[in-house]
Amino acid sequence: METVVEYRLQQYPALEAEVLAALEAGATRVVLDLDNIETLDTQALRGLISLLRRARSAGGGLALRTSRRDLLRTLSVTALDRVFPVVQVEAA
Protein backbone atom coordinates (compact mmCIF):
# COMPACT_ATOMS: atom_id res chain seq x y z
CA MET A 1 0.00 0.00 0.00
CA GLU A 2 1.21 3.50 -0.87
CA THR A 3 0.13 6.86 0.54
CA VAL A 4 0.76 10.28 -1.07
CA VAL A 5 1.38 13.25 1.24
CA GLU A 6 2.01 16.87 0.22
CA TYR A 7 5.34 18.16 1.54
CA ARG A 8 4.77 21.19 3.78
CA LEU A 9 8.00 22.38 5.37
CA GLN A 10 6.28 25.17 7.31
CA GLN A 11 4.23 22.54 9.12
CA TYR A 12 7.01 19.98 9.56
CA PRO A 13 5.83 18.44 12.88
CA ALA A 14 2.37 17.82 11.38
CA LEU A 15 3.95 16.43 8.21
CA GLU A 16 6.14 14.05 10.20
CA ALA A 17 3.12 12.90 12.20
CA GLU A 18 1.14 12.33 8.98
CA VAL A 19 3.94 10.25 7.44
CA LEU A 20 4.33 8.13 10.56
CA ALA A 21 0.55 7.69 10.90
CA ALA A 22 0.35 6.46 7.30
CA LEU A 23 3.10 3.92 7.98
CA GLU A 24 1.42 2.77 11.20
CA ALA A 25 -1.85 2.39 9.25
CA GLY A 26 -0.17 -0.10 6.95
CA ALA A 27 1.40 1.95 4.17
CA THR A 28 4.66 0.36 3.07
CA ARG A 29 5.73 3.54 1.30
CA VAL A 30 4.80 7.18 1.61
CA VAL A 31 5.24 9.40 -1.45
CA LEU A 32 5.91 13.07 -0.71
CA ASP A 33 4.55 15.42 -3.36
CA LEU A 34 7.06 18.28 -3.66
CA ASP A 35 5.35 20.38 -6.33
CA ASN A 36 3.87 22.96 -3.95
CA ILE A 37 7.06 24.00 -2.16
CA GLU A 38 9.04 27.05 -3.23
CA THR A 39 12.49 25.53 -3.21
CA LEU A 40 14.49 22.67 -1.77
CA ASP A 41 16.77 24.67 0.49
CA THR A 42 19.03 23.16 3.16
CA GLN A 43 16.23 23.15 5.72
CA ALA A 44 13.91 21.27 3.36
CA LEU A 45 16.64 18.78 2.43
CA ARG A 46 17.41 18.19 6.10
CA GLY A 47 13.70 17.59 6.70
CA LEU A 48 13.54 15.04 3.87
CA ILE A 49 16.49 13.11 5.26
CA SER A 50 14.99 13.15 8.75
CA LEU A 51 11.67 11.86 7.40
CA LEU A 52 13.44 9.11 5.50
CA ARG A 53 15.20 7.95 8.67
CA ARG A 54 11.94 7.99 10.61
CA ALA A 55 10.11 6.09 7.86
CA ARG A 56 12.81 3.44 7.69
CA SER A 57 12.89 3.02 11.46
CA ALA A 58 9.11 2.51 11.33
CA GLY A 59 9.60 -0.26 8.76
CA GLY A 60 8.50 1.68 5.68
CA GLY A 61 9.89 3.68 2.84
CA LEU A 62 9.73 7.20 1.53
CA ALA A 63 9.67 8.35 -2.09
CA LEU A 64 9.52 11.80 -3.66
CA ARG A 65 7.24 12.94 -6.46
CA THR A 66 7.52 16.08 -8.59
CA SER A 67 6.93 17.45 -12.05
CA ARG A 68 9.26 20.40 -11.52
CA ARG A 69 12.61 20.39 -13.30
CA ASP A 70 14.23 22.72 -10.74
CA LEU A 71 13.45 20.31 -7.92
CA LEU A 72 14.65 17.32 -9.93
CA ARG A 73 17.91 19.17 -10.59
CA THR A 74 18.39 19.95 -6.91
CA LEU A 75 17.82 16.30 -6.03
CA SER A 76 20.37 15.31 -8.67
CA VAL A 77 23.02 17.86 -7.63
CA THR A 78 22.73 16.81 -3.98
CA ALA A 79 22.72 13.10 -4.97
CA LEU A 80 19.46 12.62 -3.07
CA ASP A 81 17.99 11.13 -6.23
CA ARG A 82 20.18 8.12 -5.38
CA VAL A 83 18.92 7.96 -1.81
CA PHE A 84 15.18 8.45 -2.46
CA PRO A 85 13.10 6.79 -5.14
CA VAL A 86 11.92 9.71 -7.30
CA VAL A 87 8.61 9.54 -9.14
CA GLN A 88 8.68 12.04 -11.98
CA VAL A 89 5.27 13.13 -13.23
CA GLU A 90 4.34 15.10 -16.31
CA ALA A 91 3.84 18.84 -15.78
CA ALA A 92 0.23 19.94 -15.97
Note the pLDDT of residue 88: 75
Q: Which CATH number fits domain 2-83: 3.30.750.24, 3.30.70.100, 3.40.50.410, 3.60.20.10?
A: 3.30.750.24
Q: Which one, of 51, 31, 46, 32, lies nearest residue 78 by Cα?
A: 46
Note the pLDDT of residue 91: 63
pLDDT at 3 over 80: no
pTM for the model stands at: 0.81
Q: Which one, of 3, 2, 86, 90, lies nearest residue 40 by Cα?
A: 86
Show Cβ contacts of residue 59 under 8 Å, excluding neighbours closer than 6 positions: 23
Note the pLDDT of residue 90: 72
pLDDT in tens, 16-59: 888 889 988 988 999 999 988 888 888 888 889 999 998 999 88
pLDDT in tens, 55-84: 999 889 999 999 999 999 999 999 999 999
Cβ distance 8 to 44 under 8 Å?
no
Note the pLDDT of residue 82: 95
3-state secondary structure of 88: strand
